[in-house]
Structure 1
């Protein structure tokens, strides 16, 4: 029994455009972000997959991305589960700050550590490790069992909540996962067997 899991990072948000730390703040998608979501949706549509259920975070940029995807593939009527367990990493005191201003305040090295270390959180916020510890229980309880049953599942979420899922799916090391780049709006298609092991992985993007 092989199930399908499609993961998509939301399209560009207004705060992405302004180079701000976003985290649990809730800006909308930009027009480019909506276009990115639509482009990704067309690539999903080309696979012909019929989804059984969808998951997204409690934040509108992910929910809007999912809505654009489901409308484009004509599957708006499937069940959608929204949960803050899939929210972006909480950046704490960095939230809402311009990334250059944060570097001026705390120093470039310190901000780099907060952004790219696995287990050192910014003040009042989450590290990737803490984000993963929030995401994994939800993934293992709500999402993975469906895929293991052969269901087709689509998830629209955020860079770091998706990194947490991918770390678990692919058994990626702490050091390697922090360097994993996820393009906005580009879906990743996994086929998983009944034990949750990866059968295949495909990044749905235009060939260079």
Structure 2
């Protein structure tokens, strides 16, 4: 039986990952380590014989640059790439830019873990969202749709229509796709792919940086396998 494979990848380490800060929609670039991670992911995919028909990423440069490093390693500079704000990281509201350890000291571990991992609990809203509302890359979006905080459930709601209309039809047509996104936007995609409805399972989902996550589908686009790819897989 022939299988269709989808590759999903969290961007390499960003500068704020390195500094242990909440990032969300803030457009922080890769750290030096993140660049190395992205190149290594591309090398693994090349060594395993991957080639793609389409690439998808958010409009945030840590994801975009990760995909650039990968397609450079694959020698696929011609790959059609579509960028969408719907694949952005979850909006972390007023937590964006705060150090995670200091935030735990202020609000307590349990509260911060709820904000980070639960399905329906959103962090406190950001009070000044003008840096996003007046950002040209979001100028085509109804301002009412631009979040000032998001739970994972709201992130799933943001991604679902884009997934259903833009990505899933290509998987059904046996196209080979790579998605480079973010920890929580990938958690949202995994939730959709695996039909997760157990909040504990969702709470425990952890997506490491720059490790390809492979989903395999049968001819009816049912998920038949998924695994993280490394040089030994």
TM-score range, shorter chain: over 0.9
**How is 1:95-110 mapped onto 2 (pairs within 5 angstroms)?**
95-110=96-111
In structure 1, the partner of 2:215 is 190
In structure 1, the partner of 2:9 is 8
Alpha-carbon distance, 1:189 to partner: 1.4
CA distance in 1 between counterparts of 2:124 and 2:53 reads 40
In structure 1, the partner of 2:42 is 41
CA distance in 2 between counterparts of 1:144 and 1:194 reads 13
Give 1:153's match in structure 2, choosing from 152, 174, 177.
177
In structure 2, the partner of 1:176 is 201
**How is 1:16-35 mapped onto 2 (pairs within 5 angstroms)?**
16-35=17-36
Deviation by residue 1:135-187 (Cα, 9 ceiling, x = unmatched): 11111111111011100000000011001111111222332022111110000
TM-score (norm 2): 0.85
In structure 2, the partner of 1:144 is 168
Runs ≥4 residues deviating over 4 A: none
Deviation by residue 1:97-137 (Cα, 9 ceiling, x = unmatched): 01122123323322121112111000111111111111111
In structure 1, the partner of 2:86 is 85
In structure 2, the partner of 1:114 is 115
The answer (yes or no) to whether the contact 1:148–1:192 under 8 Å persists in 2 is no
Please say which structure displays the higher CA radius of gyration.
2
**Would you say how many aligned residue pairs link Structure 1 and Structure 2?**
208
Which consecutive residues of structure 2, in runs of 5 or more, have no partner in the other structure?
126-148
TM-score (norm 1): 0.95
Instruction: Please state whether the residue corresponding to 2:204 is helix, strand or coil.
Output: coil
CA distance in 1 between counterparts of 2:104 and 2:3 reads 46
Task: Compute the RMSD of aligned alpha carbons.
Answer: 1.5
The answer (yes or no) to whether the contact 1:2–1:147 under 8 Å persists in 2 is no
Change (3 A) 1:108 1:199: closer
